Amino acid sequence: MKLGFQQASHTFRVPKTEIYNTIQRIALEAEHLGFDSFYVMDHLMQIPGVNPPTDPILEGWSTIAALAASTSKIRLGTMVTCNTFRTPTLLAKIGATVDNISRGRLIMGIGAGWYKEERRAYGYRDQFLGERFGRLEESLQILKLMWTQKRTKFSGRYYRVEDAVCNPTPIQKPHPPIVVGGDGERVTLRIAAKYADGCNVFGGADLGILRTKLSALKEHCNELGRNYDRMWKTGLGRVIIGKDESELREKIKRYVPREPTTGATGITTFEKRLQRFIIGDPETCIETIRKIFDIGLDYLVVNMPDAEDLHTLRLFGEKVLPAFS
């Protein structure tokens, strides 16, 4: 059972010139507290449910490359890379570079991409869902070929690779762990079972949703001859933690939007959104996370809307994290 940390928001009470330094401080504190991994999102505009699209957000791979040079032991990744932003050959080269800079600490999180407004704003061609999944399947194959072979040739429906070289290859052998983000039961989890080392699902603290997703993953593993027990079953959960009830009420009022929002998992209301949060004092958070692990997840990535001042992160790291060391 392991816990990672994701910094989703880049909207801080600091000048814009201090955004990266703030993320760096959070990452170094997460490393000091003993989190296994640290992630940022791979979005070019901020997403619904976190902050308005006009709010600041740093490019994900540039950010973790910089963090790779300033941290020493925490694993690093994007939760998750949007496959449509880069060709798989370029992504393989970027991933190998970050794995070398970090001395073997990259976790390759990747997904098909869902935020159509972002694609249109940045000039990416609209792609139907089937094409995005097809491209993801081919990219996963190319990544592994680029990371394990001296030269790569690949001819698919969407990508063609002619004798590409990725030198140096990643430090991790045979390659950095690959985690497919998304929880579509019919397609996404099948792709994860077929090509990846693990999956990342978005059920948060909703145990019913998590059971359904893990059951679908297990069925795909059985059909494909994959060992389900050796797959990373990771989840993403948002934490609101406080010392007492009064502090928790104030944080819920401040950080949980009441209006419906549309995100990767569709339209969510305030009530449904609240069900997915890990909310409470440290003891309550421990109890909730234990239930999440008990149903089959073995790796939980948490984010907190108020980690910027480090007090909330330290409260979680000092009171909750040791229960799962």
Residue 267 has pLDDT above 60, yes or no: no
Residue 265 has pLDDT above 60, yes or no: no
> What pLDDT, on a 0 to 100 scale, did the predictor assign at position 260?
61
Q: What DSSP string describes 181-230?
A: E---TTTHHHHHHHH-SEEEE--TT-HHHHHHHHHHHHHHHHHHT--GGG
Distance from C-alpha of 303 to C-alpha of 28, rounded to nearest angstrom = 15
40-62: b or e for each residue (b if 16 or more CB lie within 10 Å)? bbbbbbbbbbbbebeeebbebbe
Nearest residue to 166 (alpha-carbon basis) of 182, 185, 144:
144
Distance from C-alpha of 111 to C-alpha of 132, rounded to nearest angstrom = 9
Confidence band for 261, pLDDT divided at 50, 70 and 90: low
Residue 246 has pLDDT above 70, yes or no: yes
Q: Where are the beta strands (DSSP E) in the chain?
A: 2-7, 37-40, 75-78, 81-82, 106-111, 152-155, 160-164, 178-181, 198-201, 232-241, 261-263, 266-268, 278-280, 299-303
Residues sharing a CB contact under 8 Å with residue 165, sequence separation 6 or more, in sequence order? 150, 151, 152
For the chain, the domains span: 2-324
The two three-digit tokens of residue 141, written as one number:
């194959």
Residue 259 has pLDDT above 80, yes or no: no
93-107 per-position pLDDT tens digit: 999 999 999 999 999
Asked if residues 107 and 37 have their Cβ atoms less than 8 Å apart, the reply is: yes
Confidence band for 203, pLDDT divided at 50, 70 and 90: confident
Regarding the domain delimited by 2-324, which CATH topology (the fold level of the hierarchy) does it fall under?
TIM Barrel (3.20.20)
State the average pLDDT over residues 91-120.
97
175-196 per-position pLDDT tens digit: 999 999 998 999 999 999 999 9
pTM: 0.94
- Cis link prior to 282 (omega < 30° from 0)? no
Confidence band for 269, pLDDT divided at 50, 70 and 90: low
